[in-house]
Amino acid sequence: MEAAIASTGSSFHSSPNPLARQQRIARAVVAFVPQPQAHALRCERTSHPNPRASAAAAAAMGGDAGSGSVVVVGRKKRLAVFVSGGGSNFRAIHEAALGGKVNADVVALVTDKPGCGGAEYARGNGIQVIVFPNSKSAPEGISSDELLNTLRELRVDFILLAGYLKLIPVELIQAYPRCILNIHPSLLPAFGGKGFYGLKVHKAVIASGARYSGPTVHFVDEHYDTGRTLAQRVVPVLANDTPEQLAARVLHEEHQVYVDAVTALCEDRIVWREDVCERDRGKGWCKWQPFLENPLGQKGPVVSSSILFFSYYIYVLSLGC
């Protein structure tokens, strides 16, 4: 797990992994602009063009970049949010979209529990509710193919997981590469994976003796909590914390960091670069890593680089080292 932040007007910065022994052999940096530009494409590797970014840039041609303010590239993005519970992160994102902070519209709520709080909130706000997957407890649920077709009909740009407990179908991940985000209530890679959700995460953090915890926003791949990290926030674990107290402290940060990440996603301020190539037993491979640019005028980095040390420290503790 690696994370780094590009501050406005600066070059990329990354903190070294304090545990892994790596040989740095190459670096291919993808350029980025200090703020969204009306006539610029999102930074992508030229051999793998992103049609969504191209469409957004094309829609923005002829716009006025303005002066002294952040320029939003392209049309409003269309979001589908997946939830299984109360959906407090879903509500935070929806409210940010209604308030104009997030340049997007939430057009669908996907859930495996049609009676959950998130689904009730969506119905109360005129957001289409889609039940997925089909199961004994939710016979009205649709199949993976039907879900994919429905999202395409709704012209969904990005998918956001906000407390959705089911594994995302491979077909959906392949149809939306680098367009699905999830938030997890620990500093991944520690306390992640199948079975780590809700209070179970916070109980494990406290039981490990970890001194820090916090939420992680990451891209989604075919497995639980293993996609590339985009952003993290750090909170202390206090001596007398209960799982409920720690959960409340982490949740407060979740609502902020997820909205910030989604805001950047919808403004094409997330860039990917081919990071350090690593060697293991003579065989090399390269990692693609996302970076989140600072919004113009925001003080300090979006995520402190110190999270790397804390995250790996907690990971070591979780292994009993």
Instruction: Output the domain CATH number for residue 145.
Output: 3.40.50.170
Q: Is residue 228 domain-resident?
A: yes
Which one-letter DSSP state was computed for residue 7?
A: -
Tens digits of per-residue pLDDT, 25-83?
333 222 223 355 343 334 333 333 344 444 444 444 444 434 333 444 568 999 999 99
pTM of the model: 0.70
In order of 14, 19, 157, 264, 284, the CA distances from 219 in angstroms are 18, 23, 14, 13, 23
In a domain, 221, yes or no: yes
Task: Indicate the pLDDT class of residue 287, thresholds 50, 70 and 90.
Answer: low
Q: Is 150 exposed, middle or buried (0-12, 13-18, 19+ CB in 10 A)?
A: middle
Q: Which two tokens stand for residue 144?
A: 């993976």
Task: Please report whether residue 86 resides in a domain.
Answer: yes
Residue 312 located in a structural domain: no
- How large is the average pLDDT for residues 92-102? 97
Instruction: Give the count of domains, the chain.
Output: 1
The verdict on residue 28 lying in a domain is no
Write out the residue range of the structural domain in which residue 108 sits. Answer: 77-267
**Per the domain annotation, does 226 fall within a domain?**
yes
The answer to whether residue 126 is domain-embedded is: yes
For residue 35, being part of any structural domain is answered with: no
Q: Which of 94, 184, 202, 255 is catalytic?
A: 184
202 noted as active-site residue = no
